[in-house]
Amino acid sequence: MKYYLINFFVLLFCSSLVYGQSTGHTDFNNDWKFFKGEVKDGQSPTLDDSKWRTVQIPHDWAIEGPFSKEYNARCGGLPFHGEGWYRKSFTLTNTQKEKNIAIEFEGVMKNSEVWINGHYLGKRPFGYLGFEYDLTPYLHQEGMNIIAVKAKPEDLSSRWYPGAGMYRKVWLNINNDIRVAHWGTFVTSTNVSAKVASVNIQLEIQNFKAADQIVSVVQTIKNNLGETVKELQHKAVAEGSKTIISEQSFNLIQPQLWTLTSPHLYQLETELKDKNGKILDRYTTKFGVRSIQFTANDGFFLNGKRTELKGVCLHHDLGPLGTAVNRRATERQLEIMKEMGVNAIRTSHNPPSREQLELCDEMGILVIDEAFDEWGIQKIENGYHTIFDEWHERDLTDMIRRDRNHPSIIMWSIGNEIREQKEKDGWKVAQKLGEICHREDPSRPNTAGFNQYENSIKNKLAHHVDIVGFNYKAAKYAEIKENYPDWIVYGSETESITSSRGVYHTPFLEKYEKNTDHQVTSYDIIGPIWSYPPDMEFKFLEENPSILGEFMWTGFDYLGEPTPYGGRDNSTNGYWNDDWPNKSSFFGPVDLCGFKKDRFYLYQSQWTDTPMVHLLPHWNWKGYEGKEIPVFAYTNAESAELFLNGISLGKKVKGVDKGIVPIKFSYYEGPYNYPSPYRLRWDVPYEKGELKVVAYNGDKVVSEEVINTTSKAKNIELTADRKIISSANGEDLVFVTARALDTEGNFCATYNGQIQFSVTGDGTFEATGNGDPASLTLPENKKLKFFNGMALVIARANKGDGGKIIISATGKGLKKAQITVETKANPKAL
């Protein structure tokens, strides 16, 4: 293994990192024309596209459906493959004429090809990375210009739902002859402390003209209050038709460090000026100052403080929104994860959106940025292996150059469960990819997620990454550290327990493979053979404190891979349609809509300190009178007491009174009936009424929860994630949760009747969902069924001066409900 050794078995990286954009970075996302299907000469400027649909980018054509098993349940049963065309017409303004103009796509899924005025600009097979094309030679200075984009995703090209089309944003980059190059700023720091940080700014200056030109570089650093803390100025010679690198170093006195609880971001403004003082480019960036340290014996340190990685893996879809990137939807996902106690995410298994990384910077969440799910050996027929030889260096380089500026990122992952693990020379690929990481960013280590425990070690792949990630090998942590004490190790993918929100099958604690209702019990014990309940990861991490932490699979349910239903990797020729209509995963402690399952609270009980307690299952068990129901409490308090209809069923102490759960998985040699110190359990003879749990620290009540047997559903409760949308910019969303209640206001946890939503006022309907992995109701439908008492509607705030969005809900036998959300004018438009 190649190390950057600071002292024995320590990897230390100190970084002050930036991301940013030029003042010429112009929104180019409205009024695109779209057609799904093959188009002869779709790039032709004379093509009549007047009957094509008008769409706003980001746009995912596949989420529009229909659901069908012919599209492969493994990928959500949605039509993500095929051909789609986008076209946009525009004329240059007077200020844009004679400028250098490029178009930047943040991501097109996939095999994109782009034309301007009929001239071919290029192709990009990989759908997860952005790219830029120079339009300047082919632009009409007067009259209309036509951009055409073709996307052609293939069947069997992804192991999950990838989405389709222009699902990330598009920009015009309008520049003078000299500019800061695309992704052209990189700032690093060394010797970071609360007193001082040594900062180095690397700036790439691009000259479009043939002649050399002397430019003045003026750089101003401001804190989050807008106060100037440093000014720098120097001159550089921008060589003709070249990109030069200019570097500046300085000491930042008493830096405000980027931390998980106070993620301070500085702003760097870079101005390029000609000899007369005219501004040629202004490039504004944000950056954070922090140090990261990885040790073989003591774990991970952020700014010198030991920090256990409490991480989740996240796929890139946004549930009912598909893969079309939306900042608020992404922010909501991360807010829910933070509430669970998450402090890190792994972008599984691809480069993430810009919005996700910016939000992690702003919210104080660590990131493992992952490049590939395949290298050169096939997992699926049309996977990344088909382009690996030609594109891997370009794609990995671009990912790092695009993302190296985010303080949240702590590692680069070069691959996930790659098949080269079984090859004698597989280490050579790992070594090459690792060298690219070190070349492009010496300030961070690289890693990979290995699932073939023996092969990854025998064939030396684990020896050729800086930090070794093992998938589902918690029971092997002690053995790994005994055999390789100098390795820095973490759980790159853990648990893989499956569950459906609010479902509890009988027999209650039976570990089965499938159920006739196409759901999985929420007792948090069911998973594939390689998986194990969270209790096991908690246990083995406690026993092996040198392990950095874990990244649980997955933080949210996602479209596709409906394990245990439909298939398995390498089975059924890549198709997972055996158990249709299952079309989304069960892995998350949070469902597709962002609704919390019971498992959410099991993690919260281990990962957070604010007192909490959660009780399961529901208490509607007609026909089970007198029969024992396993009742569990998840809490971070010292003890909890259970009451049934006011009568105490006993107080139990966490870690002492252990809840028995069945456990069996690969490499595990412990008891099947495992006494878990992380769960409290009572076996309660059922009688209808009130079930209540009270949590204590000492004799003090710190939290409680009540569950009631409910009568017939009569009411709808609507709750918005925000009462006020502060920017009516045409992009912001509000998420409204509907819950079914009885006449006494109790939550009807087993109600599955129909609900219909409407959105009026200063907003438009966006999507609905209910979190049911077997539902085939498309998100575009305003009418759907509750799933175990809950449903979701998403509304988009109109662009304008603000106002009120009115969301209403009705259902047969239910009283109409209504909620109002206020929107305020977009401050950027004022």
Task: Assess if residue 2 is contained within a domain.
Answer: no
Predicted pLDDT of residue 574: 86
Q: Is residue 673 part of a domain?
A: yes
With a cut of 60, say whether residue 4 has pLDDT above it: no
CB 427 within 8 A of CB 508: no
Pairing of β 309-314 and β 549-553: parallel
What is the token pair recorded at 322?
């598909």
Say which residues have a Cβ less than 8 Å from residue 668's Cβ, sequence separation at least 6: 475, 532, 536
CA angle 504, 69, 373 (to 5 degrees): 85
Both structure tokens of 466: 């800086």
Q: How do beta strands 690-697 and 700-708 pair?
A: antiparallel
Same domain, 436 and 578: yes
The residue assigned the tokens 């009516």 is 728
Q: Give which of 60, 35, 316 is closest to 165, Cα–Cα.
A: 60
Three-state DSSP class for residue 547: coil
Domain range for 241 is: 12-21+178-291
CB proximity list for 425: less than 8 A, separation 6 or greater: 459
User: Which CATH number fits the domain that encloses residue 742?
Assistant: 2.60.40.10
Say whether pLDDT at 501 is over 80: yes
pLDDT at 557 over 60: yes
CB-based contacts of 667, cutoff 8 Å, min separation 6: 453, 473, 475, 476
pLDDT value of position 775:
97
DSSP codes of every residue in 798-823: PSSSEEEEEEEEEETTEEEEEEEEEE
Whether 772 maps to a domain, the answer reads yes
pLDDT at 7 over 90: no
- Six-digit token string for 100: 């250098």
Kindly report the CA angle at 799 between 798 and 800, in degrees rounded to 5?
110
- The one-letter amino acid at 377: I
Query: Cβ distance 221 to 212 under 8 Å?
Result: no
Tens of pLDDT along 484-499? 999 999 999 999 999 9
The residues pairing with 199 across neighbouring beta strands, listed in sequence order, are 189, 250
Both tokens of residue 743?
């006449």
DSSP letters for 597-666: -HHHHHHHHHH--S--EEEES-S--TT-BTSEEEEEEEESSSEEEEEETTEEEEEEETTTSPEEEE---T
Q: Is residue 59 part of a domain?
A: yes
78, two tokens:
């949605």
Question: What is the pLDDT at residue 3?
Answer: 36
Beta strands in 191-323 (DSSP E): 196-207, 213-222, 228-238, 243-253, 266-273, 279-295, 299-302, 305-306, 309-314
Q: What is the pLDDT of residue 188?
A: 87
φ, ψ for residue 708, nearest 5 deg = -120, 150
731 and 655 within one domain: no
Is residue 242 domain-shared with residue 320, that is, in the same domain?
no
Give the Cβ contact number of residue 215 at 10 Å. Answer: 22
What pLDDT was estimated at residue 21? Answer: 65
* For residue 527, pLDDT beyond 90: yes
Report pLDDT digits (tens) over 766-804.
Answer: 999 999 999 999 999 999 999 999 999 999 999 999 999
509 falls within a domain: no
Looking at 248, 265, 291, the residue that finishes a domain is 291
Q: Based on the fold, state whether residues 222 and 284 are members of the same structural domain.
A: yes
Question: What's the mean pLDDT in 86-98?
Answer: 95
- Is residue 362 flagged as an active site residue? no
Look at residues 783, 779, 714 and name the one whose alpha carbon lies nearest to residue 742: 714
Q: Which tens digits make up the pLDDT trace of 288-339?
A: 999 999 999 999 999 999 999 999 999 999 999 999 999 999 999 999 999 9
User: What confidence score (pLDDT) does residue 11 get?
Assistant: 56
pLDDT > 60? residue 247: yes
Share the mean pLDDT of the chain. 95
Provide the b/e sequence for 530-565 (b: ≥16 CB within 10 Å).
Answer: ebbbbbbbbbbbeebebbbbbbbbbbbbbbbbbbbb
Q: Tokens 């990384």 sit at which residue?
A: 357
CATH number for 415 = 3.20.20.80
**Identified catalytic residue from 104, 355, 358, 493:** 493
Helix (H, G, I), strand (E, B) or coil at 218: strand
Dihedral sign, CA of 626, 632, 635, 639? positive
- Please indicate, yes or no, whether residues 471 and 418 belong to a single structural domain of this protein: yes
Is residue 801 assigned to a domain?
Answer: yes
Task: Give residue 6's pLDDT.
Answer: 31
In a domain, 303, yes or no: no
Does 520 map to a domain? no
3-state SS, residue 142: coil
User: With 50 as the cut, is the pLDDT of residue 9 above it?
Assistant: no
What's the full length of the chain, in residues?
830
Domain identity same for 409 and 534? yes
Count the domains in the chain. 5
Percent helix, percent strand, percent coil in the chain, to nearest 5: 15, 40, 45
> The tokens 């200075």 sit on which residue?
141
State the Cα–Cα distance between residues 475 and 606, nearest whole angstrom: 19
**193 and 215 co-located in one domain:** yes
- Report the half-sphere exposure of 624 (CA within 13 A, side-chain side): 18
476 φ/ψ angles, rounded to the nearest 5 degrees: -105, 0
Best CA proximity match to 333, nearest among 594, 94, 68:
594
**Nearest 5 degrees, angle CA 114-CA 120-CA 125?**
45
Instruction: Give per-residue pLDDT as tens, 417-435.
Output: 999 999 999 999 999 999 9
N-term to C-term CA, the chain? 55
SS3 (DSSP) at 408: coil
Taking residue 698's Cβ as centre, other Cβ atoms within 10 Å add up to 9
Q: Are residues 659 and 719 in the same domain?
A: no
Alpha carbon distance 234, 545 (integer Å): 48
What is the token pair recorded at 191? 């010797």
The 10s digit of each residue's pLDDT in 356-408 is 999 999 999 999 999 999 999 999 999 999 999 999 999 999 999 999 989 99
Looking at the fold, whether 118 and 183 belong to one and the same domain comes out as no
The confidence score (pLDDT) of residue 569 equals 73
Q: Are residues 127 and 48 in the same domain?
A: yes
How far apart are the C-alpha atoms of 535 and 512, rounded to whole Å? 19
Task: Please return the burial class of 276, using the count of CB atoms within 10 Å of its CB with bins 0-12, 13-18 and 19+.
Answer: exposed
Percent of the chain with pLDDT over 90: 93
What integer pLDDT is reported at residue 2 of this predicted model?
A: 38
Whether residue 314 contacts residue 589, with contact meaning beta carbons closer than 8 Å, is answered with no
Question: Which is catalytic among the residues 374, 417, 550, 822?
Answer: 417
Q: Is the pLDDT of residue 8 over 70?
A: no
Alpha-carbon distance 460 to 455, whole Å?
8
Same domain (yes/no): 598, 621: no
Distance CA 174, CA 22 (A): 9
Tell me: do 428 and 378 sit in the same domain. yes
The conformation of residue 457, written as its DSSP 8-state character, comes to H
Domain of 85, CATH number, reads 2.60.120.260
Which of 602, 624, 653 terminates a domain? The answer is: 602
- Classified as helix, coil or strand, 680 is strand
Pick the last residue of a domain from 672, 690, 708: 708
**Token pair 């962002």 in the structure block, residue:** 594
- Residue 641: active-site member: no
